[in-house]
Structure 1
Amino acid sequence: MSDSPLTTTSYNAYSRWLHWILAFLILFMIFLGWSLEDQDTLRRTRFDLHKSVGMLILLLSFVRIGVRLAYKAPPEPPMPRWQALAAKALHIGFYVVMIGMPLSGWLLVSTNVRPIPFFGLFDWPHLPVPKTEALHEFFEEGHHLIAKLIIYGMVPLHVLAALKHQFVDKDTVMQHMVPGLTPKPILNWRWILPVGIIVAAFVLGRFAFLGKPVEKPAPPPTSTASTASTAPAEASATASQASASETSSVSEKVTSWTVDKAASSIRFATSLEGDAINGSFGGYSARIDFDPEQLDKSRVKVTIDLASATTGNSDYDGTMKGPDFFNVPASPKAEFEAKSFTRKDATRYVAHGTLKLRGVSKKIDLPFTLTIKNGVADMTASVDIDRTAYGVGAGAYAGTDAVPAKVPVTIKLRARAA
């Protein structure tokens, strides 16, 4: 019997190791959860680690059940029947939540576009569930409910019951998982294992994955789409003066410009659950008739091929072009057209136009800088587009928790006089 992995007072070595590994991982997840929402440079790392550890707990839980079925448990010490039933119920409950908790998280993530980067080794596949807002919220509520059950109910109850058996009942229950840990003396070196598990999980989960605070970018010096519509009265006066000056001058043909696409770009930036996403539109056409001295006759129309949007991530690109976002099959183009311009100073202007996206047209003011030299025009512009105003982001993405409402768009154009 001395060579058997099962003794009369303890589980076999495999079960013990799995018990303490799972105990560490569960406690680590609890303590890591305290800082999941903190805004710092490692926020994305914490979320990815949270998901990866969850999948690892799911796998090890099945292994633990297999080992439990292969090896008999040690006999329980004498105790009242209600305590034995309560212990058995709690034991079974832990198996249920160790599977239910990561499974609900897996289902929750599967309603989103971003895969689970399993410890950076590979992308854990999604479950085949619809990516709808209702289903996302359902799984999120279930996931959080199980988390509360574990944090505020099962773990404290399990720990308190173990301590009661050790110091009040003075039986062999703690020896099931820590062989030789007799009720006396209290300063037994074998306490290193359970206490060390708790301390290590707390330190690593709470402090090891904190980054530097993320500073919010300073607001741009020029007005964005959301604020340009409320520009001060002096802008209107400037526009009127410019218009009067232009109409009083000798009318000339407005210069047409041809875009040099090799030196031009239309880029956008957003994020998914804090993960930065940067992309661009490779396909677009532009009709530009613009003259700083004839703003009243200037016209600009840019047509963007939404199917050309790319972020470098095939999962993001596919979802972005799908029905929840651009819905490319139904609305393949976005159009910006401006027929009115305001000159702010020698190089700064505002184009007052309309953006049409997903069949929705909205007035938008686009601040830009322009320099013209030797027949070559260089223009840069930046504006925040409210995606929700155009219905971009439906289903699970209709809210702004996962994907921000404002999408910064940066335009850089170089054009030559035709």
Structure 2
Amino acid sequence: MTSHSVPQRYAALSITLHWLMLALFVGVYGCIELKGWLPRQHPLKGPLLGTHALFGLAIFTLVWVRLLSRLQKRPPISPRPPAWQTALAHLTHLSLYALMILTPLLGWLMLSAAGKPIPYFAFTLPSPIAIDPDMAKQLKYWHEWLGTAGYWLIGLHACAGVFHHYWMRDNTLTRMLPERFLTWRQATESRQGPANRHQP
């Protein structure tokens, strides 16, 4: 690829970060939902909450790497979508980045205000604010509010990818798929032949 060529897919780092952060989101939401289903004194509630916090802080760490990776040349959508779809996509991405930064940050501040330790792998993070139970309650409210909004944002993002792939028939989704997956899919379609490829 020359310096003036247009990439057809995102760089490997961007693709890896995208799917890794999706896995972390599944872990974040899965842990907190499972904790909510368990009885009040269940012994797994504490470990689930700790894992939830760990995954959230991992997202907070990786989002900065992902922001830097966006400086790389990005592949254009082909065929080019309408301007309103492009604007909506930019707004959704901006909202997702705000979610990935603010939600873990609020969780960190919430635990600090509650006077609880903040373990992060082999480290214990410092408490950036003093203990304040009333502030901890407010921070918990906004942390949970953003977490709920995240369901809708992530769902909208996923639905948009499916819509572009199956309805608009553009390369929005395939730009972010690993090359190995695309190679496997092309090989599978070649073996099926044109007659079976278009069956529902």
TM-score class normalised by the smaller sequence: 0.7 to 0.9
1:18/1:64 contact within 8 Å kept:
yes
2:7/2:73 contact within 8 Å kept:
no
User: Which structure has the greater CA radius of gyration?
Assistant: 1
Code of the residue aligned with 1:111 in structure 2: it is A
Matches within 5 A, 1:166-315: 166-178=165-177, 179=179, 181=182
Q: For each residue in 1:139-171, what CA deviation from the matched residue of structure 2 results, as whole angstroms up to 9, or x when unmatched?
A: 1111011001101x1011011100011111111
2:140 match? 140
Higher RCO structure (Cα 8 Å, ≥6 apart): 2
2:60/2:105 contact within 8 Å kept:
yes
Matches within 5 A, 1:331-350: none
Residue 32 of structure 1: CA displacement?
A: 1.5
Q: For each residue in 1:200-236, what CA deviation from the matched residue of structure 2 results, as whole angstroms up to 9, or x when unmatched?
A: xxxxxxxxxxxxxxxxxxxxxxxxxxxxxxxxxxxxx
Residue 101 of structure 1: CA displacement?
A: 0.8
Q: Does 1:126 align with 2:127?
A: yes
RMSD across aligned C-alpha pairs, in angstroms?
2.2
Residue 122 of structure 1: CA displacement?
A: 2.1
Q: For each residue in 1:14-59, what CA deviation from the matched residue of structure 2 results, as whole angstroms up to 9, or x when unmatched?
A: 0110111011101221122111232322221111111111111100
Match of 2:98 among 96, 99, 124: 96
2:27/2:52 contact within 8 Å kept:
no
State the percentage of identical aligned residues. Answer: 28
2:33 match? 34
Q: In the aligned structure 2, how far is the partner of 1:24 from the partner of 1:110?
A: 26
Whichever structure has more helix as a proportion of its residues is: 2
1:161 match? 160
The 1:21/1:7 distance shift into structure 2, 3 A limit, reads: farther
Q: In the aligned structure 2, how far is the partner of 1:138 from the partner of 1:62?
A: 26
Code of the residue aligned with 1:134 in structure 2: it is D
1:51 match? 53
2:62 match? 60
Matches within 5 A, 1:66-81: 66-69=68-71, 71-77=72-78, 78-81=80-83
Whichever structure has more strand as a proportion of its residues is: 1
How many residue pairs get aligned? The number is 180
Q: Which runs of no fewer than 5 residues in structure 2 stay unpaired? A: 190-200
TM-score by length of structure 2 reads 0.82
Structure 1 runs of 4+ aligned residues shifted over 3 Å read 179-182
TM-score by length of structure 1 reads 0.41
Q: In the aligned structure 1, how far is the partner of 2:91 from the partner of 2:63?
A: 17
Residue 138 of structure 1: CA displacement?
A: 1.3
